[in-house]
């Protein structure tokens, strides 16, 4: 995935968590960690910082609009 160039931007993603629940989220990427295996981000759905495993991202795209915290 080529998410590194979107650090600081908002992206929309479909994510599957460890309980196999699928969710649609908007996140602002803060950093890509562990050789590109983790994303540190602000999640607008959870209203706080979250860490996402890149392997669990099913789909993503740059957000058309920037979300406001």
Instruction: Write the CATH number for 18.
Output: 2.30.30
Is 68 a member of any domain? Answer: no
Average pLDDT, integer, range 49-67: 89
Q: What pTM, to 2 d.p., does this model score?
A: 0.85
- Local confidence band at 1 (pLDDT 50, 70, 90 cut-offs): low
Q: How many domains does the chain have?
A: 1
Q: Is the pLDDT of residue 54 over 80?
A: yes
Is 69 a member of any domain? Answer: no
Domain that holds residue 30: 4-62
- Local confidence band at 64 (pLDDT 50, 70, 90 cut-offs): confident
> Which pairs with CB-CB distance under 8 Å and at least 24 residues apart come from 55-61?
56/15, 56/16, 56/17, 57/1, 57/13, 57/14, 57/15, 58/13, 58/14, 58/15, 58/16, 58/22, 59/13, 59/14, 60/1, 60/3, 60/11, 60/12, 60/13, 60/14, 61/11, 61/12, 61/13
Is 19 a member of any domain? Answer: yes
Is 67 a member of any domain? Answer: no
């Amino acid at each position: 995935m080529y998410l590194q160039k979107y650090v600081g931007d908002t992206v929309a993603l479909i994510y599957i968590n460890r309980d196999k629940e699928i969710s649609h989220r908007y996140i602002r990427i803060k950093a890509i960690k562990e050789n590109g295996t983790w994303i540190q981000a602000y999640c607008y759905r959870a209203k706080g910082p979250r860490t996402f495993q890149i392997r669990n991202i099913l789909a993503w795209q740059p957000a058309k609009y920037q979300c406001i915290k």
